[in-house]
Structure 1
Amino acid sequence: MARARLIAITLAGVAALAAGLWIGQGLSGSQEPPPQVQGFVMSERPPVVPFTLTDQDGKPFGPERWRGHWSLLYFGYTYCPDVCPTALTELAQLQKALRERNAEGDLHYWMVSVDPQRDSPQRLKTYVHFFSPSFEGATGSEAELKKLMYQFGVVAMRAPGGGEDSYTIDHSSTFTLIDPEGRLIAIFTPPHDPETMLPQLLAVQAYYQHIR
């Protein structure tokens, strides 16, 4: 996917989210100002509307799986030729950097497939484990995926051309951070430089301790 098209799709999704929520720096009701990040810190932390997906082991997966720990989400698909492998490589580098600092804590990493037609739970599991054995995957029906994607300002659309099993999907390339209460707290937009994202992620987690 061309870089300009990727950025346009990502910004379109975030703009749609902003239409329904206050997003940005300095808008929080807390006296503690939100940290500056490559992306957005939520001024209000909306709870995730219920959804039902299937995880990489074939088990039901809903928003309760994001409670009690931090979660970092990426929406992509296993047949993605360029954007997804790059993003997951960067996510693995971020994980490595956090572990080197003993700062990973209880952070979980998820890839949610936007291609349920081709991405079975087993295929998704094999794919994400290539980047890190601790990465997890989930997928589900188009209706349930759209419900979840809408909440996080994620856009995905089948690109023109391609056969029934050889199509590509243009999609947002954001990392979505869910706090231990299962609420959306931050969205990190590309480019995803692990060295830049690491201190920003830690800053958002520290900010959460002040506003919870």
Structure 2
Amino acid sequence: MKKAILFLTIFIFSFSFALEGSVKGFPKKAPEIKNLITDEGKPFSLKNYKGKVLILTYGYTHCPHVCPTILAYLKQVETELNKKGLKGKYKIIFISVDPKGDTLERVRKYKKEHGFDDFVFVIGKKEDLEKVWKDYKIYVKDKGIMTMKHGNMIMKHRMIDHTAKVTIIDKDGNIVEEFLGMYLPVDSIVKDVEKLIKE
């Protein structure tokens, strides 16, 4: 039992690379993102969303634990913001850390299967994504295919270590807040985004 708990602790830490909570000390201009495409196959640019509050996160669609957890929290954020009549005034954006696995076909399928209809999934070539990771301080290390045990089943997953982070960008294109770790404070994010929308 102790070994199982220790393994889980190490596993979660290896994917989060950060203490839970928010990091402030902003605003600062959000670095431009170039040469990437959306899940619709269109060129992606932050400028296309000027006037909206942006919620950026970083991950990959084959991620077995951390990314689904973050996306589930962001889905809750979406639900709460929409209840407040704020749909269309913000956008949740998922930036890939897996240029090999996150193809256009793959992200479209993932988006549809998991009900992320209004999320924007952003993919691209490795060199272009690497610039984004560097600019937004996202650690990424591809560990290849790893075998993991789920109950009585042995499963193979593509494993990529990466920073678990959510970046909030205001309507003027400034980074105003970041949340680190896989467990997100939904109420705080909703409150902050609502305030930014109404400013």
Higher strand share: 2
2:29 maps to 46
Aligned counterpart, 1:145: 129
Per the TM alignment, residue 172 of structure 1 is displaced from its structure 2 partner at its CA by 1.2
Alignment counterpart, residue 2 of structure 1, candidates 8, 11, 16: 11
Contact persistence 1:47–1:184 (CA under 8 A): yes
Q: Deviations over 1:71-98 (max 9, x none)?
A: 1111110100111111111111111111
Structure 2 unaligned blocks of 5 or more: 1-9, 148-155
Per the alignment, in what secondary structure is the counterpart of residue 89 of structure 2? coil
**Equivalent residue of 1:167, what SS?**
strand
| 1:72 partner letter | I
Provide the residue aligned with 1:168 in structure 2. 159
C-alpha RMSD of the superposition? 2.6
TM (norm. structure 1) is: 0.74
Over 3 Å counting, the alpha-carbon distance change for 1:141 and 1:10 in structure 2 is farther
The count of corresponding residues between Structure 1 and Structure 2 is 180
Please report how far the alpha carbon of residue 181 of structure 1 lies from its aligned counterpart in structure 2 after TM superposition.
Answer: 2.1
Q: Give 3-state SS (helix, strand or coil) of 1:168's partner.
A: strand
**Are residue 87 (structure 1) and residue 87 (structure 2) matched?**
no
Given candidates 177, 184, 197, the residue that maps to 2:175 is 184
- Tell me, in whole angstroms, the C-alpha distance in 2 between the residues paired with 1:180 and 1:188: 18
Structure 1 gaps of 5+ residues are 12-36
Q: Which whole-Å CA distance do the structure 2 matches of 1:143 and 1:10 have between them?
A: 25
Q: Deviation at 1:160?
A: 6.2
Matched residue of 2:158: which SS?
coil
Change (3 A) 1:64 1:192: same
Q: Tell me the equivalent position of 1:155.
A: 139
Q: Deviations over 1:96-125 (max 9, x none)?
A: 111222244511111111111111123212
* Distance across 1 between alignment mates of 2:84 and 2:46: 29
Length-normalised TM-score, structure 2: 0.78
Identity level (%): 23
* Cα separation, partners in 2 of 1:175 and 1:142, compared to 1, 3 Å: same
